[in-house]
Chains A and B, each alone.
Chain A
């Protein structure tokens, strides 16, 4: 118990320190709009990556439709703030809940499928969600919807902090272990008395919730949202963060997201070059290091490895 709470406080203090440092730099004018926007974008991407990490990395359910939940969150929050004049915080929460409900609707039928079939079913659902938004005139159809800029570094950071906290705690809880058991071997988990369907749907809904929250921030960061922003390629973008970082590694997903966001920010004027680099990275990583940059290891695991010198190594000096 002591150790867990100590870890939590270290994490909290570290987070507040990062937040304060960046907020100080933004309000002090050391970071111009471009950089602070990049940071916000990075935060949103990390939330997406971490929420997909819960579905793919922890529960082992290969979803290719994460952009669909991002779209639900983005559109619901935009309707709430722009059409119904609700405060932004309420919009963020309701967007998350709406996306979680969408996650349930998608997850309950499709999570009976496995592997490739699940991937294709989620892809299909995400496309259907996109086409539905494309056909609703209330949200502007293909032309999209104007949204005021409300997302700030503070909102992003708080949402990011909560996302990571909830997902880390979920992973380390009894439920998280059940999910990992489902990932390792579904039939064995079932035989051990784990309600596999329940945990798969639960992980999917939590992942969708945070994707929806990220969607709310995303919508209020870009002035305009269009169905074309939430296509298959967006899902692939998120997938790349998780896969590159290492399936099953939360810190890996975060590191990969930060790296790729920086790379794509600098290549923003050359979208083809960016996509060529992305796809080459994806292929090369899959061919030569299929478990990703960090495998299933977390930063804390590396720390533990450094702290404990290996047996025998001291005597050799």
Chain B
């Protein structure tokens, strides 16, 4: 029953991608910006978790919450300092600024702490149990449950609260939302805060699952999470989750078949196929371009 095992591994990896992809997709949905710095927020989240667990001796959940809080703050700061003035600028200018912010955070971290990797402390005993012949570790279960809980909370916030309603309104039509008395700036900041908090949580989970973190760790998962967001239909929240899970499973299957060096290529091949054949993504509706 090796395939169940691979499926569980794939879903664990996929849920990390999904958490990061949610932030991408929310930010894209609301201001049409590919936030390249999102992968770096994920990295910062992993480091905050690392410092609070091994440095201050916090437990897993306090560390997770702390890291989410710091990342939310960082996301809002980035939005307020760098992206806010660019609301009416060209898309290229915004994209390049995002790349610049991403490089700045990466190299800032390398500058202050060096590029050497850090070993994540073990917070849980790594027990595993037998399920239909597959060895499933308790860590995988924990990661999955944390991701699912966070996604449910997100779903609740977006659909049942006032700020969620405002977010949906702004992403539908920012001008009209403004006329209806919604504070667009605050709504965008809230979106950044929520998306970044999810990325921070993903960072901590990633650290615990893969046990090794370094300042450049955000680049590849960041890009792949973006692929996941595009795959599910960018701007669509359930799409990001589905895209993340699909991507995680595909990658695991590719590695399991013995092509582990091609694993990174798989994500980009999926990206290109989806962009060519259905750029609106799995869950997206085709919209006709207006002249």
Q: Contact residues of A with B, CB < 8 Å?
A: 56, 62, 109-110, 112-113, 115-117, 119-121, 123-125, 127-128, 131-132, 134-135, 187, 232, 236, 239, 243, 247, 272-273, 275-276, 278-280, 282-283, 286-287, 290
Contact = CB atoms under 8 A, between A and B. Distances in A.
B238 interface: no
Contacts of B101: 279, 283
In order of increasing CB-CB distance, the 6 nearest A-B pairs are A282-B100, A279-B103, A124-B268, A279-B104, A275-B107, A283-B100
Nearest to A244: B96
- Most interface-central of A125, A239, A283 (chain B CB within 10 A): A283
Contacts of B111: 272-273, 276
Nearest to B99: A236
Given A116-B95, A276-B104, A279-B103, A286 B272 contact: no
A247 B92 contact: yes
Nearest to A60: B92
Interface in B236-281: 261-262, 264-265, 268-269, 271-272, 275-276, 279
Contacts of A239: 96, 99
A117 B91 CA distance: 11
Q: Chain B interface secondary structure, helix, strand, loop or mixed?
A: helix
B219 interface: yes
B149 interface: no
A288 to B, nearest CB: 9
A276 B107 CA distance: 6
A134 B261 contact: yes
B101 to A, nearest CB: 6
B35 to A, nearest CB: 11
Given A116-B34, A117-B275, A232-B219, A243 B96 contact: yes
A276 B109 CA distance: 10
8 contacts: A109-B276, A119-B95, A124-B227, A243-B96, A279-B104, A279-B107, A287-B85, A287-B97
A131 B262 contact: yes
Contacts of B279: 113, 117
Contacts of A287: 82, 85-86, 97
Given A275-B107, A279-B102, 15 more contacts: A109-B276, A113-B275, A121-B271, A124-B227, A124-B269, A124-B271, A125-B268, A128-B272, A131-B268, A187-B291, A239-B99, A272-B111, A282-B97, A286-B96, A287-B85
A286 B86 contact: yes
A202 to B, nearest CB: 20
Nearest to A123: B223
B275 A121 contact: yes
A283 B97 CA distance: 5
Contacts of A116: 32, 34, 91, 95
B226 to A, nearest CB: 7
B287 interface: no
B276 A112 contact: yes
B93 interface: yes
Contact of A272 (B32, B107, B264): B107
B203 to A, nearest CB: 20
Contact of A135 (B32, B262, B269, B272): B262
A112 B276 CA distance: 8
Contacts of A187: 291
B126 interface: no
A273 B92 CA distance: 25
Nearest to B34: A116
A286 B110 CA distance: 24
Nearest to B32: A116
B91 A290 contact: no
A124 B272 contact: yes
B110 A131 contact: no
Nearest to B101: A283
A209 B36 CA distance: 29
A173 B265 CA distance: 39
Contacts of B275: 110, 113, 117, 120-121, 124
A278 to B, nearest CB: 7
Contacts of B133: none
B261 A110 contact: no
A282 B89 CA distance: 15
A127 B268 contact: yes
A123 B97 CA distance: 17
Contacts of B271: 120-121, 124
B226 A120 contact: yes
Interface string B64-99: 000000000000000000100110011111111101
A33 B33 CA distance: 45
B262 A286 contact: no
Contact of B104 (A134, A232, A280): A280
B83 to A, nearest CB: 10
Nearest to A276: B107
Nearest to B276: A109
A280 to B, nearest CB: 6
A110 B104 contact: no
B272 A115 contact: no
